[in-house]
Amino acid sequence: MKKDVIRIGCGAGFSGDRLEPALILTEQGDLDYLVLECLAERTIALAQKAKQQNPNLGYDPMLERRITGLLPLLVKHNTRLITNMGAANPLSGAQKIIDIAKRLQLTIKVAVVLGDDVFASISGDEPSMEGNKALSTYGTLISANAYMGVDAILPALKTDANIILTGRVADPSLFLAPMIHEFGWDRADWDLMGKGTVLGHLMECAGQITGGYFADPVSKPVAGMENLGHPFVDVYPDGSGIIGKVSGTGGEITIRTAKEQLLYEVLDPGNYFTPDVVADFRSVHFEEIKKDQIKVTGGTGKPKPSQLKVSVGYQAGFMGEGEISYAGAHAKERAALAGEIIEKRIRNLFDEFRVDFIGLSSLHGPVIPQGSEPYEVRLRVVGKSHSQDKANLIGEEVEALYTNGPAGGGGARKSVKEIIGVVSILLDRDKINPEVIIP
Amino acid sequence: MIKLAKIAHSRAGDKGNTLVLSLFPFDENDYPRLIQEVTAEKVKAHLSDQVKGEVSRYEIPGLHALLFTCTEALGTGVTTSLALDAHGKSLSYALLEMKINPKP
């Protein structure tokens, strides 16, 4: 029997998202499915590095914490979880989930979706989409993961697994797959694929449709941000949906929050490419049916692309950073002098180097800001190097300004981090072979 | 002249090295004004510190929305940029600093 409505919640919109909104959704949201979207472009390359160092790692670093809290609630409410927390190592992630279930004395089954890792079939000669130059010219390659679509997830949904754990799949596909599974949609009905993708895209960033990344206390005030509720969507067989959240949680769902999220990261509203469809968002219509409930209709689609996007990670060296603050009379001039001193001493050691004045021009540059002088200015110096020692030098030099630099410098901080660059290529769909394993 | 922030809201997104900025009037009656005042050329000039490539504008009348895609806007790309705000998430508010003519 096909259902007449399904409810899908989104409890995380990125790897570092809050833990408790997913718990609240699962306990009080009456969900059929919970989705946790935890994989940004770069996250999977970082996970691949973790796996190289320890073959049992490479799944999402928050997986254990998220699953430990959620598992009893998922079982209690018979809610299925779909998540890309498998990252670079879904099999080890699944084993971790099974271990947690044993510890909690819960009986669950995990279906693992594999096939996104195409590193072995990359030669390095492929031209990148960004710069149209061979991948190998960027640096040592460390990962290549294809964005798979619903075709990879659907076989896992056909099993009786409670948890579907994937690596890289396109974010909206995490939501579209259960819609197709429950309603028996024809995967070549491009308008339905487009409508389902609209709903998935609105949901995938979790709190970004309930007031997160939106609130402005002056022009767009939102109440209860400290307790921001994450969204769920009631999906109907015709591809329309109603987005809501658990009552009593903070934040708001309005036509404004929905519009901002619909166009978020969209390069062309008439052609939104996913592995499942090329969706057209231009006919989407929002209607507020009551407080915090937005009805979504419209949206169309065109046939899915023949090639899939592959994110390729490479080692891009080290980024060294140092900061120090100045306040009061001549703060700007003293910060500028501090920056000049560092530049004169070490700038020639770096290919890329920049000096920012936080509070003045570090975010929008020197052209736009106008108005009065800030009371405080924080100098930020940053540079990129393939040598970790050289990258270290930046923070050391900034710290040394305490006793060798302008008057009144305080609060120096330094850091070095490894840079993982990501570029993309396109790969023919038939080169990617999705597979489902139940460990 | 008034700031765009008085009459509109915006959200920034990124794809690789491309910055995406949406723009919506608080009052739908101001949509024609945004179409007239906030052209791709003006956005490119206004964001000249950030945007080294091209600015394209999409009109979505059904949503009373404008969408700007700005290429070569995020240094060498989000993952390798040395900028403090590598994703350009704060740049919606750079767009909203743009000055436009007050209501005729």
User: Rounded to an integer, what distance in angstroms lies between the CA atom of residue A207 and that of residue A300?
Assistant: 25
Contact A260 B11 (CB under 8 A): yes
Within 8 A of A382 by CB-CB distance, chain B residues are 82
Contact A384 B80 (CB under 8 A): yes
Q: Is the pLDDT of residue A321 over 90?
A: yes
> What are residue B6's phi and psi, to 5 degrees?
-70, -35
Chain A CB within 8 Å of residue B24 CB:
yes
> To the nearest whole number, what is the mean pLDDT of chain A?
96
Provide mean pLDDT across the span A183-192: 98
Contact B79 A421 (CB under 8 A): yes
Contact B58 A268 (CB under 8 A): yes
**A223 with A180: CB under 8 angstroms?**
no
Number of C-beta neighbours around residue A165 at 10 A = 30
Provide mean pLDDT across the span A30-57: 91
- CB–CB contacts below 8 A, A to B: 118
**A315 with A434: CB under 8 angstroms?**
no
Q: Architecture of domain A315-420 in CATH?
A: 2-Layer Sandwich (3.30)
Contact A283 B62 (CB under 8 A): yes
Tokens of A242: 């109603």
Q: How distant is the Cα of B81 from the closest Cα of chain A, in angstroms?
A: 9
Task: List, as ranges, residues 54-73 from B with C-beta within 8 Å of A.
Answer: 58, 60, 62-63, 65, 67, 69
Within 8 A of A285 by CB-CB distance, chain B residues are 62
Q: Is the pLDDT of residue B104 over 80?
A: no
Tens of pLDDT, residues B37-96? 999 999 999 999 999 999 999 999 999 999 999 999 988 778 899 999 999 999 999 999
Choose the closest CB to A352 out of B22, B82, B84: B82
Residues of chain A with CATH 3.30.70.100: 315-420
Confidence of residue A40 (pLDDT cuts 50, 70, 90): confident
Residue in B with minimal Cα distance to A282: B60
User: Rounded to an integer, what distance in angstroms lies between the CA atom of residue A202 and that of residue A282?
Assistant: 14
Q: How distant is the Cα of A422 from the closest Cα of chain B, in angstroms?
A: 6
Residue in A with minimal Cα distance to B91: A364
Tens of pLDDT, residues A74-125? 999 999 999 999 999 999 999 999 999 999 999 999 999 999 999 999 999 9
Residue in B with minimal Cα distance to A370: B97
What 3-state DSSP class applies to B3?
strand
Residues 6+ apart with CB under 8 A from A379: A323, A324, A325, A326, A335, A338, A339, A355, A356, A357, A358, A398
Q: Is the pLDDT of residue A371 over 80?
A: no
User: Rounded to an integer, what distance in angstroms lies between the CA atom of residue A383 and that of residue A352?
Assistant: 6
Tens of pLDDT, residues A188-235? 999 999 999 999 999 999 999 999 999 999 999 999 999 999 999 999
Nearest to A60 by CA among A29, A32, A81, A31: A81
Nearest to B41 by CA among B20, B30, B56: B56
DSSP string computed for A264-279: TT-S-TT-EE-SS-EE
Higher pLDDT, A16 or B75: A16
> Which domains does chain B carry?
2-100 (3.30.70)
Q: Is the pLDDT of residue A42 over 90?
A: no
User: Rounded to an integer, what distance in angstroms lies between the CA atom of residue A434 and that of residue B16?
Assistant: 26
pLDDT of residue B102: 84
> A282-285: which pairs have CB atoms within 8 A and are 24 or more residues apart?
A282/B60, A282/B62, A282/B63, A283/B62, A284/A198, A284/B62, A284/B63, A285/B62
Residue in A with minimal Cα distance to B49: A365
pLDDT of residue A44: 85
